[in-house]
Amino acid sequence: MAKDYYETLGVAKSATQDEIKKSFRSLARKYHPDTNPDNKEEAEAKFKEISEAYEVLSDENKRRMYDQTGRVDFGSGRSDFTWQDFSHFNDFSDLGDIFRNIFGGNFGFGAGSDFSSGFGRQEENLDLVTNLRVNLEEAYYGASKSIKYRRNETCSHCKGTGSDDGKLSTCSVCNGTGQQRIVQGQGFFRMVSVTVCNTCGGRGKIPSKPCSTCKGIGSVPVTENLEIKIPKGSPDRLRLRVKGKGQSNFGRTGDLFVILNIQEPSGMRRMNDDIYLQSEISFPEAALGAEREISIFKEKLTLRIPPGTQPGEIIRIKNAGMPHVNGHGSGDVLVEARLVVPKHLSQSQKELIAKFGEENGKKHSWFK
C-alpha cells in the first residue's frame, strides 16, 4: 500500500504550494526531535515521514508523478529517502534552526554529512563540494566551464562489491551488524559505545576474495573532467548539483555540489539582478540632457540623461541588468551620474561659462 503523502501532511489533494509549505512547517516544528525528548524515536520517524511527503508534494513534477502513479522514483541507487534530499531545497532559510539543531551542523553548503548523522541508519556522506569562480559576464550570458577534480568511482570490475567473484560473506567480527560495541567500566558504571566495525567498514559483509582491481575497496580513484553549465543570471553562491559525481562507496555514489563564486569586475556592482555603475557626466549633458551610448559587457546601451540631472542621481536603464535566473526578464542597469567639473578650459570656454554665470544673476569677479 502506497503512502498517502497528502494524509501525512494533513492537506487536501487540491492543496496549493502555500498550504503544503505551511502545513509542513508546522508539522516540522511539532515533530522536531528536540521538542520530543520523551519519544524521540517516534518523533524522528514522523519527521522523516513528513519530510518525504513534503519533498514530493512541494515539487510539481514529483507531485504529478505521485498523483498519477502513487509512487515516486527517487532515482537510481537510492532505495529510500535520505537526508541528502534536503540539499536541493532552497526555501528553507527560516527553517534553518530546525535543521541546525537536528543535524548538529550548518544546514546549507556541503553539510550533507550532517543530514544523516542525526538519527537512523548512519550513512557516510559521499557528496563532494567544490567552489567555482565565475565572472559576472559569464553569469550574465550563461557559460560552460570545465572543472577537474579527484573522486572515487565505483570499480567496474567488481561493480562496487569489492569482491572478485561477486561473493560476500558475513563479517565475523560484527556478525553482520556493521557495528562494534565497546563496553567500558564494570558493574553499575558501564558505558557502551557503538562504533563502525573497522573490519568490514560498517557493511557487515566482507568479500571472500578481494577484487584484484580495487583491492576490495569497491572503488577506484579517478580524475573527473566535467563541463559545468552556468545558468544565465546565476546569483552568487548558487549551488549546482551534479548527480552521481561525488564519492563512491560499495556501489553507492554521492553527488557533486558546485558553488558558484561570482566575481564582479571593478566599477560594477551587482545588486540582486540590477547592475550598478557610475558614469561621468559633463555639466552641459546634465543641464541640457543628452543621449549617450554605454556598454555592459558586449551590450551597447543608450543612456538617456534627462535635462536637469543632479550629481549622484540614478538613471535607470530598464531590463538591461542581469537576467532573472528562474524565468524571463532581467533586472535594470542603474547608472549613477557623476558630475564632472572640467579642470582645463580654453579662454573662450571660460568666457562662455562666465557669461552663463552672469545671466544667471550672479555677480562675481571670475578668474578668467
Whether the CB-CB separation of 27 and 21 falls below 8 Å is answered with: no
User: What whole-number distance in Å separates Cα of residue 98 and Cα of residue 114?
Assistant: 13
Q: How far is the CB of 253 from Zn ion (least distance, A)?
A: 14
Out of 62, 157, 239, 304, point to the residue binding Zn ion (CB under 5 A). Answer: 157
Pairing status of strand 179-184 against strand 268-271: unpaired
- Please name which of 255, 267, 264, 276 lies closest in space to residue 331, comparing C-alpha atoms: 276
174 vs 317 by CB, closer to Zn ion: 174
Whether the CB-CB separation of 325 and 232 falls below 8 Å is answered with: yes
Q: How far is the CB of 150 from Zn ion (least distance, A)?
A: 18
Tell me the CB-side half-sphere exposure of residue 65, using CA atoms within 13 A.
13
Q: How far is the CB of 202 from Zn ion (least distance, A)?
A: 7
Say which amino acid occupies 233. Answer: G
Out of 168, 173, 268, 301, point to the residue binding Zn ion (CB under 5 A). Answer: 173
Which 8-state DSSP code applies to residue 96?
Answer: H
- Show the cell assigned to 265: 569586475
Q: How far is the CB of 197 from Zn ion (least distance, A)?
A: 3
98 vs 217 by CB, closer to Zn ion: 217
| Stretch of residues binding Zn ion (CB under 5 A), selected from 154-162, 311-319, 323-331, 333-341 | 154-162
52 vs 153 by CB, closer to Zn ion: 153
Q: How far is the CB of 203 from Zn ion (least distance, A)?
A: 7
Out of 199, 278, 279, 282, point to the residue binding Zn ion (CB under 5 A). Answer: 199
132 vs 173 by CB, closer to Zn ion: 173
Say which amino acid occupies 314. Answer: I
User: What whole-number distance in Å separates Cα of residue 339 and Cα of residue 368?
Assistant: 22
Is residue 101 part of the contact set for Zn ion (CB under 5 A)? no
Question: Site residues for Zn ion, window 110-139 (CB under 5 A)?
Answer: none
| Stretch of residues binding Zn ion (CB under 5 A), selected from 4-12, 46-54, 155-163, 260-268 | 155-163
Is residue 207 part of the contact set for Zn ion (CB under 5 A)? no
Q: How far is the CB of 168 from Zn ion (least distance, A)?
A: 12
145 vs 159 by CB, closer to Zn ion: 159
Q: How far is the CB of 117 from Zn ion (least distance, A)?
A: 20
Q: In degrees rounded to 5, what are phi and psi of residue 34?
A: -70, -25
113 vs 199 by CB, closer to Zn ion: 199
User: What whole-number distance in Å separates Cα of residue 66 and Cα of residue 193?
Assistant: 41
User: What whole-number distance in Å separates Cα of residue 89 and Cα of residue 59?
Assistant: 10
- Please name which of 236, 223, 71, 62 lies closest in space to residue 152, comparing C-alpha atoms: 223
Is residue 211 part of the contact set for Zn ion (CB under 5 A)? yes
Q: How far is the CB of 184 from Zn ion (least distance, A)?
A: 20
Out of 27, 53, 197, 317, point to the residue binding Zn ion (CB under 5 A). Answer: 197
- Please name which of 151, 168, 163, 251 lies closest in space to residue 214, comparing C-alpha atoms: 163
Out of 58, 122, 213, 279, point to the residue binding Zn ion (CB under 5 A). Answer: 213
- Show the cell assigned to 123: 550513512
Is residue 275 part of the contact set for Zn ion (CB under 5 A)? no
- Count of chain residues binding Zn ion (CB under 5 A): 12
| Stretch of residues binding Zn ion (CB under 5 A), selected from 2-10, 21-29, 50-58, 213-221 | 213-221
Using CA atoms in the order 346, 351, 357, 362, what is the torsion angle rounded to 10 degrees? Answer: 130
| Stretch of residues binding Zn ion (CB under 5 A), selected from 190-198, 242-250, 275-283, 312-320 | 190-198
User: What whole-number distance in Å separates Cα of residue 144 and Cα of residue 226?
Assistant: 10
Is residue 179 part of the contact set for Zn ion (CB under 5 A)? no
What DSSP string describes 191-247? EEEEEE-TTTTTSSEEESSB-TTTTTSSEEEEEEEEEEEE-TTPPTT-EEEETT-S-
The residue assigned the cell 525528548 is 37
Q: How far is the CB of 179 from Zn ion (least distance, A)?
A: 8
Is residue 303 part of the contact set for Zn ion (CB under 5 A)? no
164 vs 336 by CB, closer to Zn ion: 164
Sites of contact with Zn ion (CB under 5 A): 155, 157-158, 171, 173-174, 197, 199-200, 211, 213-214
